[in-house]
Amino acid sequence: MSLSNNPVATGRVMPPRWAHVRFPRGSMLGEPGNRGKQMAVLRDTVAAFGSITTPGGHVELPYRWEASPIMWRGRRLSEGSNS
Amino acid sequence: MTAVARADTRWVAEFRSRYDAWWPAAAPLIEAHDYASAFKSYPWPVFTETPWALVTKPLRASRVGVVTTGGLYRAGHDVPFDGKALEGDWSFRAIPAETPIQTLGISHEHFPHETAQADMNTIFPLGRLRELEAGGEIGGLTLTHYSLMGYCTRAADVAETMAPEIASRLKAEGADAVLVIPV
């Protein structure tokens, strides 16, 4: 099972199962110190081991970045690896 | 939790040939940090099938391993990854489950570190997984987890050396499920 904030890159790799998170690069489980959100991401992700029944299947997680954008090489990131 | 999975390695030979043609022009662009130009013509591996293994155990009885691409290492124990290497670093570090995660160093230079430095659970969530274990939501954790540096242009070397070694070790430690966290 792979987490992914970059569906294009994940599509190239073709993992067996993946969970789409909309967090910026370097922040795959959400904001630092946000235990509740981190636990929710993990619970949903491990639950998908059972709910994904076809190779390459994925789940969309509903959580969003709720802190200031992360600055990376001149970009403001809040939704994914490059945006 | 899972039965047998096998890797598709049919792409490796063609990749190596295309990589050797790509690298001479890409190297100076990467050295100049012009990654967009360098990777426009990167010979991305083309897989033809998705590896698959059936889930055969409930989560509450499953042992979970973690692989992060965050370039984490144990300061004072491990050699850091070569974060400045133009082709990246295709080695890995084994991190015992009892390691206090906030003591880990980060030697991957291709992502912003501030979130992980504030809370390593954001890229290597052993603390949160221990909570799931304590609550009986997963069966447990493997004794060892693994870190690699997500920036590595040499995909064939990753596929032929690092990845199978990590998979073999996790299997030997009884992993039923593995969570990969590409940073």
Q: In percent, how much of chain B has pLDDT > 90?
A: 91
Cβ–Cβ pairs < 8 A, chains A and B:
116
pLDDT in tens, B150-175: 999 999 999 999 999 999 999 999 99
- Answer whether residue B4 shows pLDDT above 70: no
pLDDT band for B3, please (50, 70, 90 cuts). Answer: very low
- Answer whether residue A23 shows pLDDT above 70: yes
Distance from CA of A2 to the nearest CA of B (A): 5
Rg over alpha carbons for chain B, rounded to the nearest Å, is: 18
DSSP-derived secondary structure for B3-40: -------TTHHHHHHHHHHHHHHHHHHHHTT-HHHHHT
pLDDT in tens, B10-55: 899 999 999 999 999 999 999 999 999 999 999 999 998 899 999 9
pLDDT in tens, B32-43: 999 999 999 999
Q: Which residues of B touch A56 (CB under 8 A)?
A: 50
Answer whether B116 sits within 8 Å of A72, measured CB to CB: no
Q: Is ipTM strictly over 0.85?
A: yes
Question: Searching chain B, which residue's CA lies closest to the CA of residue A36?
Answer: B128
Q: A74 in contact with B at a CB cutoff of 8 Å?
A: no
Distance from CA of B183 to the nearest CA of A (A): 5
Q: A76 in contact with B at a CB cutoff of 8 Å?
A: no
Mean pLDDT score of chain B: 94
Q: A35 in contact with B at a CB cutoff of 8 Å?
A: yes
pLDDT in tens, A50-80: 999 999 999 999 999 999 999 998 999 999 9
pLDDT band for B5, please (50, 70, 90 cuts). Answer: low
Contact A26, A78 (CB under 8 A): no
- Interface residue of A23, A29, A65, A81 to substitute, partner B, most B CBs within 10 Å: A29
Q: What is the rounded CA–CA span in Å between residue A29 and residue B109?
A: 19
